Amino acid sequence: MGLLKSMDFSGFLVAMSLLFAVFSMGSVSGIGANWGTQTTHSLPASTVVKMLKDNGFQKVKLFDADSTILDSLKNSGMEVMVGIPNDMLYTLANSVQAAENWVAKNVSAHVSSNAVDIRYVAVGNEPFLQTLNGSFEGITLPALQNIQAALIKAGLSSRVKVTVPLNGDVYTSQNNIPSQGDFRADIHDLMLQIVKFLNDNGSPFTVNIYPFISLYDNPSFPVDYAFFNGYSSPIDDNGRIYQDMFTANYDTLVWTLQKNGFGNLSIIVGEIGWPTDGDQNANIQYAQRFNQGFMARYLAGQGTPMRSGPLDAYLFSLIDEDAKSIQPGNFERHWGLFYFDGTPKYQLNFTANSKGLVAASNVQYLARRWCVVSPSVSLDNPQLADSVSYACQNADCTSLGYGTSCANLDARGNVSYAFNSYYQIQNQLETACKFPNLSVVTNTDPSMGDCRFRIMIDAPAGVANGMASGVESLQQPVCLMLFLFLFICTIL
């Protein structure tokens, strides 16, 4: 009773909620989803939270700590992994105070006042990718240590665990045999330090596994091995049979941890999924096949030869992000289970009695009109190429190209798609369809087959990002070069 007298009532409630969370941790229940926000126009956060719940998601992984999104998760029943972007690692690694400030603002405030069930802080995102050339190797562990120290000081370390989402390229194996796995030679010692730190603090190892990327990077990669339907030439690792890449990759990590003395460290699959556009192997049929195959084994509680029992995983991703960098490939903007407007792309069952994905509700759209190339314009018009270049630089043309959903468009169709993409991202402004004597607005939907000329959502004030940071991400030379190549080849 003396303790209760020394606490105000609100403090008592916070303490009890933290205590309850501690006792409820440790079980794996429900599939999670990655919620990315690199979009020109975003659905309201409350709409996305409802969509998550309507589809049975129980966990959500964020890539930053947007206060609006965290506020929307208040009392939602969703377990949350909040993220710290790579560009913040330097500051957090070099300042304990910065880490304490970050935790106070982005964790403590939401846990205590908003009842957001934050379970993890993801420090960085794939910071040791080989394509990053070691940029974050010296600062990831110090940032991790400082965030952990800040959580301890805030009295949250028993409830909120730190982790570092890592790409599967941090470990490797000879001849793709799982039992021969070990950490990459160039970061071996660093990985042992990080794994020890995670183990000492009861934190999980988070890994992103992408069979699609293996297929994208290697034309000789066996297609069937990327899926879960069986493979004619499975890997036999001393009696352990591997018929799909995901299981083999996961167990390569298990072996890697085991041989380095951390065989009991828990593992979270932070990202797993398949894109639906932007590459010949990124399509709705393959995405449905992969994700339903993964969900079937997830629902069955099927583990791997090295670790039985259910997996802890987050599907990647919830919604398409039309402002993501396409440096890795045009498919980067098409990982969503849902299109940008919350419309399901295909049938996917999360339970035995599921009726498929549930669309976002009460979505508002702009008017049913499109910007297309004028019927009177000749394809050899000297202003056409520059106009298309401008449109694609400031919009999203990643559905154009070989093997994509709009691959069957003719030259005029390609131009119209580029014009309309720009027009929609610019909120259908009249001036956005004023390409010099080249374009017109039409009320007739120009979509053809699988190629959809989409109408932008009518995002509330402060939600439409296209005029600010989103457009900056859209301006990618790769997209421009791809489209110009397609455009020239189509004309010729």
- Residues known to be catalytic: 126, 271
Phi, psi of 8 (to 5 degrees): -80, 165
Dist CA 420 CA 414 (whole Å):
10
Q: How far is Cα 34 from Cα 32, in angstroms, rounded to an integer? A: 7
Strand order in the sheet with 117-123: 161-163, 117-123, 79-84, 59-62, 32-35, 313-315, 267-272, 205-208, 165-167
Distance CA(105)–CA(300), nearest Å, equals 39
Q: What is the phi/psi pair of residue 242, to 5°?
A: -120, 115
Compute CA distances 460 → 92, 183, 322, 489, whole Å.
33, 47, 18, 40
Cis amide leading into 317 (omega within 30): yes
Distance, CA of 355 to CA of 156 (rounded, Å): 39
Strand partners, 235: 242
* Residue 370 φ then ψ, to 5°: -135, 155
Buried b (16+ CB within 10 A) or exposed e, 416-429: bbbbbbbbbbbbbe
Specify whether the CB–CB gap between 197 and 140 falls below 8 A. no
Assign 241 to helix, strand or coil: strand
